[in-house]
Amino acid sequence: MRHALPCLLLLVACKKDAQDTEETGEPDGTDLSTEVEPDTDPPVEPEVRNAFCGGIEPADAGPMGGRVTLTFDDGPDAEDTAELLALLDAENIPATFFIVGQQLDDPSSWPAAEDIVENPLFELANHSYDHANLARLSLGAVADQIDDTDALIDTFGQQTQFFRFPFGSSTCETADLVRERGHRITGWHIDTADWCYSAVGVEGVCLQDDYWRVPTEYEADMRSFILEQAARYDGGILLFHDIHAWTVDSMPDIIADLRGAGYTFVPLTDLDTHPNLNAGTPDDIPYLGEACDTANDLCFHSEYFSWCEPTDPDNSAVTTGVCTMPCEGLCPDRDGAAGTFCAETSAEYGQCLARSGDINEQCTLVAGSVPTAYSRFVGDSSANASTATVCAPSSN
């Protein structure tokens, strides 16, 4: 999927300043950007690229064959999860529940947990003990977050298969810890932003100022936002949160929408739909600033607004490109990839591009790109002025 940048900017200004840099959509306001503060040295990068350090990207790239998988984070909740389970059971729809250990420590949640374990449609999975940003903890503390929650799940007679990082915030080292325990890191295709529609401002409304990944046209229409993303991937893993009553109340309509659009519901364990997830061999999905193929654009798998910018748009035989997206101030980073920079490629907008460095061999590994010095596009953000050499598409 290719986007025209001017049109995309109408959807999102992507104002990622130092106070607005959530790595994913969850509601505690934690600043999860791995981008450094303006005018400081860029992050220390690994010497070799590692595409398997992130917690957001799905293990299986689309298209997904018209199949969708429901996942719910942050429970179990004594009331809302119980209501949701009754609905899904009646509709014969499988789901995976990424529980927080702290929630499972509460005896009021035990009936819901037991219902999940006893029903073959459902499965418990690990979402850490207290929903901390694991990228900021010591490795020992991260191990405790994983192991303590595994132990709680074990008491209900189930062994954990899947793990999801809170906020999708991971490093190469924390990802290794998860995989060493035999767990499958589970990202998502469809970020429903339900936490924002449910619990921020007016119920049923998620303003782009509150969550930058929501296009303005969908600020008051979560159901259409979900369907638009499902169409992009022809299905996929949906991210919800079963601790919000509004989310649970919305599920009958969402289920009807998805069925009406021709999608079928499958579990995470479905090998036809999620072969790489279950095998622990995720697809290599290009990140911002990395090389991509315009004939098979996967860039939007890592960021909703990202696309593959052609390096030679005048030559249709050339399909090399660079993953990019619009920005103001700062851009998100992923461990294992080159640091990014919001380059002022135009007076009207900025583009997230990779900093030239050892990890991309001074842009040599970004085919068709040219090392180019750019100023930071500050826009309306609070970021400070800066410059960097980035791997820019030659079309720029």
* pLDDT at site 177: 97
What distance in Å separates the CA atoms of residue 172 and residue 177, rounded to the nearest whole number?
Answer: 9
Q: How far is CA 309 from CA 16, 128, 349, 361, 367, in A?
A: 21, 37, 15, 20, 12
- Per-residue pLDDT at 41: 42
Q: At what angle do helices 222-233 and 245-260 cross, to 10 degrees?
A: 50
20-46 pLDDT, tens per residue?
A: 333 344 444 333 333 333 334 445 555
Token pair for 158: 């189930």
Indicate the length of the chain as a whole number: 396
Instruction: Report residues of the chain scoring pLDDT below 50.
Output: 1-42
Q: Give the helix ranges, DSSP H, for the chain.
A: 5-11, 80-91, 101-104, 110-118, 139-154, 172-180, 194-199, 222-233, 245-260, 275-279
Check: CB of residue 183 under 8 Å from CB of residue 160: yes
Q: What is the dihedral of CA 127, 131, 134, 136, to 10 degrees?
A: 170
Interval 136-185: pLDDT, tens: 999 999 999 999 999 999 999 999 999 999 999 999 999 999 999 999 99
- Amino acid 49: pLDDT: 84
CB 112 within 8 A of CB 85: yes
pLDDT at 46: 59
Query: How remote is the C-alpha of 48 from its chain's centroid?
Result: 23
Residue 48 is predicted with a pLDDT of 81
Identify the pLDDT of residue 369. Answer: 95
Set out the domains of the chain in order of their start, with CATH numbers: 5-24+42-48+285-393 (no CATH), 67-279 (3.20.20.370)
From the centroid of its chain, how far is CA 128? 17
Tokens of 88: 């899904």
